[in-house]
Amino acid sequence: MTDPFFNGQEDEQSKTQARSLWDRFQSRTQLGFLLFIVSGITGSACAFFLWSLDNISSIFQTHSWLVYGLPLGGLFVGLLYHYFGASVEGGNNLILDEIHQPGGGIPKRMTPFVLFGTLITHLFGGSVGREGTAVQMGGSIASAFARFFKLKDKNLRILLMSGIAAGFAGVFGTPLAGSIFAVEVLNIGKSNWKRLLPCLLAAYVGDWSCRLWNIHHTHYSVSSHMLPNLTHINFILKVLIASMLFGLASKLFSELAHEVQFHFKRLIPTPYLRPFLGGFLVIGLTCLAGTQDYLGLGVSNPNPHSPSILTAFHEPLSIWAWALKLLFTVICISSGFKGGEVTPLFFIGAALGNALGWMLNVPLDFFAALGFIAVFAAAANTPLACTIMGIELFGFENTPYFALSCFLAFLFSGHSGIYLSQKIAKPKLFTKYSAENLSLRSVQERKRRKDKPPHF
């Protein structure tokens, strides 16, 4: 005999399951729709940014005297952020914090502020990059849509990560690396690969929509395809030595940038005066160096024999070219100029690889390529994404060397990095300050407290 009570209970459970499946279907459909919209808008925004940046950079290259306006440009951007953009001052770290712990949201004004601030910086020759701008635009656009549609925290995280992937892919033309970067950049040592698929879709949509606007990315050529295989011990040792130095160079950049920024804030309490002073310091450094080769983006140079990323693949550079670019960029970034660190890191890595290439008597272009990806891998703590970037930019023939260099540089950079909101899910080897679930910001604060004299 059938019990009506149990039948009614089963019917209710079936209805509950059906509603749950329907709600899940609606949620995923909505998220997929928003992902395509956000990625397409982000890619188009990157196209406009790259087009504007190309024109702005051309203006500076033909009017080099504009560098003397860098302090005023920095003051203007500093005032703009101080009075109207304080809520977006955190930049990339603000986006990472929102993914780790949703709550505060990312203001919509981040997109126009970082876009305008970066273009002003480049107009006057500031040594900054473009990745930070693209990632912040992607995160801000994603956050605006997430708030409008009132997404839950899980879907908000996915959409923010998709915005990062679309921005990275759009600005560099490397969608596969962009998708992995969006997943890998959140935590050191452990990543949530379940979110790779939406990031992958977003990266390809962002790259596709950027290319629709007839935007062309820089092509890097490496002619050294016939390299010794992994059984050639002498060549392997040279790659290992170079990779360790790439990691240490990355650590130097990150630690110096954070330390200089700390002292800027300590010595100059008024925020908008920091880039004003930083502009004068860049002018002074330019006069000391006797050249403007280390200003601006650094991808190319009007003089094809002067230091640039492209030149590093073709002819020997000064042994100190990487160090000079590092100093110029540290001063600009730390004093408050807007932009990113990644393209300057490409310059630093390629120039260091170039120098090591002729010192170790190995192919210059190949070691420039290794430095290009490995220094960024160590600074961003994203060795897998940068290995894939090496494949997308330079071809798959030397994938084992790309992976070896990126992961070894990553280990030797320690718990340092350009994104202080990264969390340490699994501590690296050979590190003194290592604790799980700490952010790099916390690690840095621990170091600073321990290094203070007793009377502090």
- The pair of structure tokens assigned to 317 is 């550079």
Extract the tokens encoding 126.
């500031």
Compute the average pLDDT of residues 165-172: 95
Residue of 419, 447, 421 whose CA lies nearest to 434: 447
Phi and psi, residue 188, nearest 5°: -95, 125
Report yes or no: 172 and 217 within 8 Å, Cβ to Cβ. Answer: yes
Is residue 428's pLDDT more than 90? no
Q: How is residue 261 written in tokens?
A: 């920024």
Question: What's the pLDDT score for residue 12?
Answer: 64
Helices 321-335 and 273-289 sit at what angle, rounded to 10 degrees? 160
Q: 269-283, 364-378, 416-430 — which is least confidently predicted?
A: 416-430
Distance of CA 42 to the CA centre of its chain: 16
> What is Dmax (Cα atoms) for the chain?
98
Asked whether this chain's domains 25-212 and 233-451 adopt the same fold, the reply is: yes
* Lowest-confidence pick of 155-159, 201-205, 229-233: 229-233
d(CA 202, CA 38): 8
Find the mean pLDDT for residues 51-72: 95
- Residue pair 305/315 in contact (Cβ under 8 Å)? The answer is yes
Residue 7 confidence (pLDDT) above 60: no
Distance between CA atoms of residues 380 and 181, nearest Å? 9
Q: What is the mean pLDDT of residues 117-143?
A: 94
- pLDDT per residue as tens digits for the range 240-262: 999 999 999 999 999 999 999 99
Q: How far is CA 71 from CA 117, 121, 223, 443, in A?
A: 13, 10, 42, 33
Structure token pair of residue 184: 């890998």
Query: Highest-confidence range of 28-32, 183-187, 362-366, by mean pLDDT?
Result: 183-187
Whether this model's pTM surpasses 0.85: yes
Confidence of residue 2 (pLDDT cuts 50, 70, 90): low
Domain ranges of the chain: 25-212, 233-451
- Decide yes or no: CATH 1.10.3080.10 for domain 25-212: yes
- Phi and psi at 26, nearest 5°, equal -65, -45
CB burial readout 20-59, b (16+ within 10 A) else e: eeeeeeeeeeebeebbeebbbbbbbbbbebbeebeebbee
Asked if the 233-451 domain carries CATH number 3.40.50.720, the reply is: no
Rounded Cα distance between 330 and 347, Å, is 13
- pLDDT at 16 (0 to 100): 65
Record the tokens describing residue 196, joined without a space. Answer: 């790779």
Q: Please report the pLDDT score of residue 456 as a whole number.
A: 31
- What pLDDT does 437 receive? 75
Residue 243: both structure tokens together: 């990779």
For residues 186 and 99, what is the distance between their CA atoms, to the nearest angstrom?
Answer: 8
Say if CB 133 and CB 115 are below 8 A apart: yes
Residue found under tokens 């492209």: 310
- pLDDT, residue 426, reads 86
Predicted local confidence at residue 87, as pLDDT:
87
Residue 107 Rama label (left phi>0; alpha psi -120 to 50; beta): beta
pLDDT at 120: 96
d(CA 168, CA 161): 11
d(CA 16, CA 348): 58
The answer, yes or no, to whether residue 274 has pLDDT greater than 90, is: yes
Give 118-169 as a DSSP string: HHHHHHTT----SHHHHHHHHHHHHHHHHHHTT--HHHHHHHHHHHHHHHHH
Residue 436 has pLDDT above 70, yes or no: no
Q: Return d(Cα 445, Cα 362) in angstroms, integer.
A: 40
Helix, strand, or coil (residue 371)? helix
Residue 77 CB partners (closer than 8 Å, separation 6+): 116, 117, 120, 121, 275, 336, 337, 338
Q: Which residues, 6 or more positions from 426, have their beta carbon under 8 angstroms from its beta carbon?
A: 188, 189, 190, 436
Could you give the dihedral angle defined by the CA atoms of residues 344, 345, 350 and 355, in that order, rounded to the nearest 10 degrees?
100
